[in-house]
Amino acid sequence: MEYHVRTMEERDVPYVSKIENEIFSLPWSEKSFIDAACNPDNIYLVCERTGEIAGYCGMWTVMGEGNVTNVAVHPSYRRRGVAEALLKEMERRAKEKSVTIFFLEVRQSNEAAKKLYEKLEYSPIGTRKRFYERPVEDAIVMSKIL
């Protein structure tokens, strides 16, 4: 499938928010996405296919570190390489900002995401107990050195 990964724009936020609300029990608000995407230190991307947003991801960067805040793919586009395309482009752009290490949290039960992160050479480095709500669940903290 042919995908186009690009910088998230304000006009994308209603579509991103729709995916966010479908997937997450505690979704970000549209304002949160706008604020994060407008910060020049951050990297927020969308992945499109034929003009439709298939997924998105985001990262905050501070002092050479990148914290992956969001990775989400619309259910109809899962297991088609969308998340991988987003993460690879985010890594490329992060290198341009002199980011040397990434961190992220993933639900302990999210086997598909953990497999993808391991494929992309993220390593588990710890656990955040009861990090997630609705339902309460531990987070696996993973990192990757670029």
Please give the positions annotated as active site: 105, 117
- How far is residue 100's CA from residue 39's CA, in Å, rounded to a whole number? 19
Cβ count within 10 A of residue 78 = 13
Give dist(CA 55, CA 4) in Å, integer: 11
- Give CB contacts under 8 A, 24+ apart, made by 91-94: 91/144, 91/146, 93/43, 93/45, 94/43, 94/59, 94/61, 94/66, 94/146
